[in-house]
Homo-oligomer: A and B are copies of this chain.
Amino acid sequence: MAEDPSQDVSETVVTAALIVIGDEILSGRTKDKNIGYLAEYLTAIGIRLEEVRVVPDDEDRIVEAVNTLRAQFTYVFTTGGIGPTHDDITADSVAKAFGVPIDIDERALALMRQRYEPERLTEARLRMARIPDGADLVDNSVSITPGFMLENVIVMAGVPRIMQVMLDAVTPRLKKGRKMLSRTVRVEAPEGDLAPGLSTVQAAFGDVQMGSYPFFEKGTLGSHLVLRGTDEPRLEEARIAIWQMLRDAGFADNARDVGGDID
């Protein structure tokens, strides 16, 4: 089974961090769309996203983030900085973080030759075939030029459509933990009125995370109570306890279940 990590659904928690690389995100010019997508995707497959960092196109900063986070989490994903221009320095920075050489990779070059006529395979584009020694390629079905996985670090494009197909391509190679499940109860009452009851129920269920998130809708201030855990029966017990609390506190008429998991 060890050869097929996709089947290795362990009892232990599998964690991840994401490094978003790019001056354009920090200047506000480009609005990141990858954090929310990756967060939802990883949660759905049983990997817990534990931290995100957005860093500039700066080698030292990328190296530091990669080395800090790869030591702390099962996986580190990166997005951005693998294009053909001078500010695309992610591959070289990851090689430096691992202390391994980097050069044009024959496998990546073969893929790029499928896409580009020889005269269009310029020096700039050849930069995109630079892959650190020892990395496996990650397929890119949108624009061919691959990402890569080096030990526990997965390097992907920043363009959302390309990032998404790379994530699909690498997923079968990843270990997954127990899937995080959730239940959400919508209550038309402000958080402050629900907090004491929620806190009491939380105290009785140490193995279920409970959070409350305010919403404003049509002039109504309300709260989503979100219960999260890996054990379905236990989660259901917690949901029933939440409903008992809402009845006791007089909020049940203004509450309803609005589903679970990625809602």
> How many copies make up the complex?
2
CB of A26 closer than 8 Å to a CB of B: yes
Q: Are A26 and B54 in contact (CB under 8 A)?
A: no
Residues in B with CB closer than 8 Å to A56 are 50-51
CB of A202 closer than 8 Å to a CB of B: yes
- Which residue of B has the minimal Cβ distance to A35? B32
Residues in B with CB closer than 8 Å to A209 are 23
Which segment of A3-11, A84-92, A133-141, A230-238 sits at the interface?
A84-92
Residues in B with CB closer than 8 Å to A123 are 196
The docked-state distance in angstroms from the alpha carbon of A169 to that of B211 is: 28
CB of A24 closer than 8 Å to a CB of B: yes
Range of interface residues on A (Cβ < 8 Å): 35 or more
With A43-B27, A209-B23 as given contacts, are A54 and B51 in contact (CB-CB < 8 Å)?
A: yes
CB of A180 closer than 8 Å to a CB of B: yes
Contact of A159 among B28, B37, B51, B214 (CB under 8 A): B214
Q: Are A27 and B53 in contact (CB under 8 A)?
A: no
Residues in B with CB closer than 8 Å to A27 are 39-40, 43, 49, 180, 182, 228
Residues in B with CB closer than 8 Å to A85 are 191, 194-195, 198-199, 211-212
The docked-state distance in angstroms from the alpha carbon of A39 to that of B55 is: 12
Which 5 A-B residue pairs are closest in the complex by CB-CB distance?
A: A28-B40, A124-B195, A28-B39, A52-B54, A31-B36
11 interchain pairs, CB-CB under 8 A: A23-B211, A26-B39, A28-B262, A29-B40, A29-B182, A35-B35, A51-B61, A52-B54, A120-B193, A122-B192, A124-B191
Which residues of A are at the interface with B, using a C-beta cutoff of 8 A? 20, 23-32, 35-43, 48-57, 61, 83-87, 120, 122-125, 127-128, 159, 161, 180, 182, 191-196, 198-199, 202, 209-214, 216, 226, 228, 262-263
